[in-house]
Structure formats: C-alpha cells, structure tokens
C-alpha cells in the first residue's frame, strides 16, 4: 500500500480534520477546571518545592501534560462541542491516563471495544465521528474508517507523525526499519503499519541479538522464534538486515534509543567498512522533545537527596514507565501510581513495581523528616498531581 498517497488523499477529504474546530476559547474553562491546579502553579513559582511540617516535596522541573497531549485532549473536547448529537468514538484511549478517559466517557464519548486484543469496529456506522488518539492509529484503521464514511478527527501528535515519515523514507529506499519500541503498544503498531520491512526491538539486549546476527553470530531458527511477532510479514533476517535504519516509539528512554542507534552503526561499520557504511545504515532523530525534557528533569531530580520517589501516570504509559526506570537505577525507593486513590486509607499505598503486578505496601511513609521526589508522565494532568500531594500531606500530618 502506498501510505503516503493514502495520507494525502485522506487529508484532502472533507470528512477529515486534524486542526480542531476553532473552539479553543469555548472549551478552555472545562479543561482548566478538569485538569489544571493552582497548587502546582504555585510550586512552579516556588522553585518546584513545597515544605509542610516534616514533609519536603520536590517536583521535577518538567513533568505532566506535554503539548501533544494538551492538543489531543482539547481537540477531543472541541469535537464533542462541534458534534453535540452525533455518536463519537475513540479508536483507543485518547491518552494513557484513566482520569482523562473517564472524563470523556462522562461526555458520552464511546471507546472502540477490544476483545482478546482485537478491536471491534462493527458498531461504527457511516456518519459517526471517530477520534484518532495522540499516539495515532494504524493505516488500516484509518482506511476502514474512511471507507465506512466516518468523520475522522485526527489528534495524532506531530512527533509521532514525524516517525511515520521516517519509516516511509526507509520504505522508499528499501531500508529495513529497526523500531525501538514495545511491539504491542498502540504507537508502535501504528508506526509499523506505515513501514515497509521492519523489526521491533524492545531494549539493548534485543538490539544486541540483532547486531550479533548481522555479524554472523546468531542462529536463524532461534532468531525467528524470538522475533516472530515483532517483524513484518515475510521477514528474512539474511536478506532484510543488510540495510537498516533506526526509528523509535517516541516515549522510549532517550539514552537507550541513542545507544541502539550507535550499536547498529558500529555493527554495519564492522561488517561493511567505512566506505559502504552510508549504503547500509541511516539514522534520523525521532526522539520526542517532551519525552527528552521529562527524562532530563528526572535525571536531575534523582541527583537530589531523596527518601522516596512517587511517579504518577497510567500503568500502560510507556513514558511514565521509563521515568520509573530512572529512579530504580539510582536505587531510590520508588512507587508508580496512576490515581490519588492508590494512597490510603491509612499509611498504605497500592503501586505497580516495574515489570510486576500491583502490590500494597504498609506502612508507606516512614517516621521523621521526609524528602519526597515527584514526577508525572506526559499524560498526567496537574490536578492529579495536586491530589496526590494533598494525600501525602495528610499522611505526613497524621
């Protein structure tokens, strides 16, 4: 499929909108009431710190809603205002935050049902309005919705679209896209749908396996067994790993994406030599600025003397998970929670350790003076951060 031609055609359709409806002022009050926080605004003005009794809170200097998320949520609110009576659907969560998605459900926005990991579009009819979320949708989903006669409101973050453009360049030049991402994540699924030949690697360990294979150190059968669900149909490692380009899910750990790029560059240099390197390896910078800023701020925060860290964001939020990773690598006692209700009743917390199921810790806050670091993922409203700080204050005072 010529995905570039399809996008051009879709973008010229009178049933497609990616710019909003000019109703920003009309929805501003609702957005402010639902998501903004005077307490957080005051903390920003006070050096990102708050002292209350024995509790000292230190906020990361970049956290919470990014521009792409703000844009997506505002467009969803505008869509409901512009289409007051039509049925409105979202192909997935608008962003990975439960409170934001619950607000949209309260506005009678419908979510595409998912059965055993497969979306069921059978309930969508011609004339329905369908919102594409901030992390995008697959080209196949867009095609289905267009052919069904739906009105499409596209809130895809421009940084995600930038990655799509990158893998389309790879495809044009018969280059295999090495996508650093989580193979089942909606953004990676969307990106791979715009690619030609692709292979998804989760981390440095998987990237190393691929590089070893390129250098003749791997076994084809075990390689294909490992990556069977992470590659394009008909993928042949002996053929398709001769020319590669690196792209990424925009919310991955920046330093890891950069190291994976260097790893593949060294590998192709070793195999093909400096004269032919540019024929076998290409790299484009597709790291999201907001993701980078939040990770940089987290690295600065964990250099502070902290007794514990609270990381706030949806459990399926990739960028939040990577913030948690940074705290763990520094040996800081860290808790990832998605809503304020995870704290209490009493001195307890229900949190999600990295790579594990939810667990309850009681007692949560130790006695004595306490220094708590706080950050939140790009899909987390300031109001949620305020509510969690308020609960921490109440606990410390108890």
Angle at 378 between CA 33 and CA 261, to 5 degrees: 165
Under 8 Å CB-to-CB from 286, ≥6 apart: which residues? 159, 162, 163, 166, 247, 248, 250
Other Cβ atoms less than 10 A from the Cβ of 359: the count is 11
Give me the chain's average pLDDT, please. Answer: 94
**For position 373, what pLDDT does the model report?**
98
**For position 95, what pLDDT does the model report?**
85
Low-confidence ranges of the chain (pLDDT < 70): none
**For position 218, what pLDDT does the model report?**
87
List pLDDT tens digits, range 64-118: 998 999 999 999 999 999 999 999 999 988 988 888 999 999 999 999 999 888 9
Give me the active site residues, please. Answer: 187
């Amino acid at each position: 499929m010529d995905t570039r031609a399809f996008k051009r055609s879709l973008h010229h359709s009178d049933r497609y909108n990616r710019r909003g409806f000019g109703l920003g002022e009309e929805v501003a009050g609702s957005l402010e009431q639902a998501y903004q926080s005077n307490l957080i605004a005051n903390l920003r003005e006070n050096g990102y710190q708050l002292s209350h009794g024995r509790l000292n809170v230190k906020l990361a200097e970049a956290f919470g809603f990014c521009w792409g998320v703000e844009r997506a949520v505002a467009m969803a609110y505008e869509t409901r205002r512009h289409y007051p009576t039509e049925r409105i659907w979202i192909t997935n969560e608008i962003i990975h935050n439960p409170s934001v998605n619950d607000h949209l459900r309260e506005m009678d926005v419908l979510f595409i049902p998912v059965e055993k990991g497969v979306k069921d579009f059978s309930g969508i009819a011609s004339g329905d309005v369908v919102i594409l979320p901030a992390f995008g949708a697959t080209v196949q989903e867009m095609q289905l919705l267009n052919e069904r006669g739906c009105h499409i409101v596209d809130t895809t973050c421009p940084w995600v679209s930038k990655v799509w453009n990158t893998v389309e360049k790879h495809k044009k030049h018969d280059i295999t896209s090495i996508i650093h991402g989580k193979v089942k994540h909606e953004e990676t699924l969307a990106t791979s749908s715009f690619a030609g030949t692709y292979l998804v690697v989760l981390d440095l360990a998987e990237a190393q396996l691929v590089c070893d294979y390129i250098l003749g150190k791997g076994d084809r059968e075990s390689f294909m067994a490992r990556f069977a669900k992470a590659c394009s149909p008909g993928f042949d490692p002996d053929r398709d790993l001769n020319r590669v380009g690196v792209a990424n899910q925009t919310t991955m750990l920046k330093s890891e994406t950069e190291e994976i790029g260097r790893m593949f560059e060294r590998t192709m240099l070793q195999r093909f030599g400096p004269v032919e390197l540019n024929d076998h390896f290409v790299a484009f910078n597709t790291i999201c600025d907001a993701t980078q800023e939040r990770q940089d701020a987290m690295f600065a925060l964990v250099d502070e003397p902290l007794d514990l860290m609270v990381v706030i964001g949806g459990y399926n939020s990739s960028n939040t998970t990577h913030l948690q990773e940074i705290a763990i690598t520094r040996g800081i006692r860290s808790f990832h929670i998605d809503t304020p209700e995870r704290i209490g009743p009493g001195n307890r917390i229900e949190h999600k350790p990295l790579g594990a199921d939810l667990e309850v810790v009681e007692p949560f806050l130790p006695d004595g003076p306490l220094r708590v670091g706080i950050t939140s993922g790009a899909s987390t409203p300031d109001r949620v951060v305020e509510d969690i700080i308020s609960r921490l204050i109440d606990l410390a005072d108890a």
